[in-house]
Amino acid sequence: MKINYTHNKPIKELAEFLSLEYESIITPLHQIAESEGLSIFYDDYGNAFDAMTIYDENFFIHMNTKLHNKKDSTRGRFTLAHELGHYFIDSHRVGLMSGLLDPHPSIINNTHQFKIEREADYFASCLLMPEERFRIHCNRRTFSFDLIEEIASKFNVSKTAAALRFADIGNHEIMVIYAENNKVKWKWNSSDFPYWKIDSIDDKPPEDSLMGKYFKNPLDVQKTDQLWAIDWFKDVQYDSETNKVYEHIISYKNMVLSVVWPD
């Protein structure tokens, strides 16, 4: 599912305005929270949630360190930026203040939850990597996964967050694919990416992809390789079967993120 940019334009403008108020390339999230009088608590909340924004006469953000949401870590920064989205996006803030939105995500209607969580994720992405600064860094650069790593380091975000942002506004078309236990869970791609249909059976990644090879034998897979496009996709035209793509994988135990881009 792609972001509705027309609908979310105010979210983008608000997030990037907040970020660009500061000269620092790394968005100072705690300064933004402090300027709004927001209290942030870091503690071990077990496996209950990543973070939670609560309204009780004032707003409070609880960050769960048990799930690696530590202060200034890449995961913690994205989680905090997401929670700031719940505060700064008018409909979220008003909903929390009025009680129409329950702060515990597990009991929000799934469809509604998906919408507000996607909006908060988009806010976080724009807040951490405002388009103006992002494009300056990518301008006229030849794409390789090294560029994703540079962006992640420059903005102090995870490689996953950097790749997803690049898919939306970067200067080269890419697809980001995530799988767990040999099952593709989701994909996200640039609007001009040339292929759409992954060649999978029962949601398994193609056997000849690096992702597929990882799940078959994780100790015998290189991080980056050049493949035939038909190794990943089924909508490759007959006269384009010799087209090639590159794939880079980020793996951890039973989880793999692949970034795929055309030759």
> What is the C-alpha to C-alpha distance for residues 53 and 2, in angstroms, rounded to an integer?
26
| pLDDT tens-digit series, residues 75-127 | 999 999 999 999 999 999 999 999 877 764 432 334 445 788 889 999 999 99
Judge if 115 and 21 occupy the same domain. yes
Please give the residue range of the domain that contains residue 27. 5-135
Judge if 126 and 208 occupy the same domain. no
Examine residue 150 and state whether it is found in any structural domain, yes or no: no
Domain end: 84, 109, 135, which one? 135
| pLDDT tens-digit series, residues 34-61 | 999 999 999 999 988 899 999 999 999 9
| pLDDT tens-digit series, residues 174-226 | 999 999 999 999 999 999 999 999 999 999 999 999 999 999 999 888 899 99
pTM exceeds 0.85 for this model? yes
Structure tokens at 211: 């992702």
Total number of domains constituting the chain: 2
Examine residue 141 and state whether it is found in any structural domain, yes or no: no
Closest by alpha carbon to 250, among 171, 172, 179, 181?
A: 179
> What is the C-alpha to C-alpha distance for residues 197 and 74, in angstroms, rounded to an integer?
31
Return the CATH number at 37.
Answer: 1.10.10.2910
Asked whether the beta carbons of 201 and 207 are under 8 A apart, the reply is: no
> What is the C-alpha to C-alpha distance for residues 243 and 172, in angstroms, rounded to an integer?
16
Q: How many residues does the chain have?
A: 263
Judge if 186 and 80 occupy the same domain. no
Give residue for tokens 């190794």.
231
